[in-house]
Amino acid sequence: MTTDDSSIEPTIQIQASAAFQKNLRILTKRYRSLRHEVATLIEQLQLGELPGDQISNIGYEVYKVRIRNRDAQKGKSGGFRAVYYVKRRTSLLLITLYSKSDQGDVAAEEIRSIISTAEPKSSD
């Protein structure tokens, strides 16, 4: 039973890019526990935490976080990586998700491309 925690509303809006959604759908077919791990990450982000390491030379405030792969029993180093972009203090974009055993790092240009595709064009 929780006390005051249940009345706390998430203050951060989380959006997922099409690339993130597609990768999550593909990976959860092989790794059933991934949805739970991603849900835990989203809860952290909604509470204002910024887990992971900031990626430099992107031109945006982008972080990469390790996610444990419970299905493979390899821990975080052999698990998944989620990349997210801090758009504003109250808004984040989940950019991509991948298995470290399937793929190395994501290229900076790919991250920029996903952000530009997801961001609506604005005049401000």
The two tokens of residue 95 are 């950019």
> Within a domain: residue 4?
no
Structural domain count, the chain: 1
> Within a domain: residue 26?
yes
Task: Report the alpha-carbon distance of residue 32 to residue 18 in Å, rounded.
Answer: 20
Domain span at residue 17? 11-117
pTM: 0.82
Residue 50 has pLDDT above 70, yes or no: yes
Task: Report the alpha-carbon distance of residue 93 to residue 101 in Å, rounded.
Answer: 24
> Within a domain: residue 23?
yes
> Within a domain: residue 122?
no
> Within a domain: residue 38?
yes
Q: Tens of pLDDT along 70-106? A: 877 665 667 899 999 998 888 999 999 999 888 888 9
Task: Report the alpha-carbon distance of residue 112 to residue 99 in Å, rounded.
Answer: 20
Any idea what the CATH number is for the domain that residue 109 is in? Answer: 3.30.2310.20
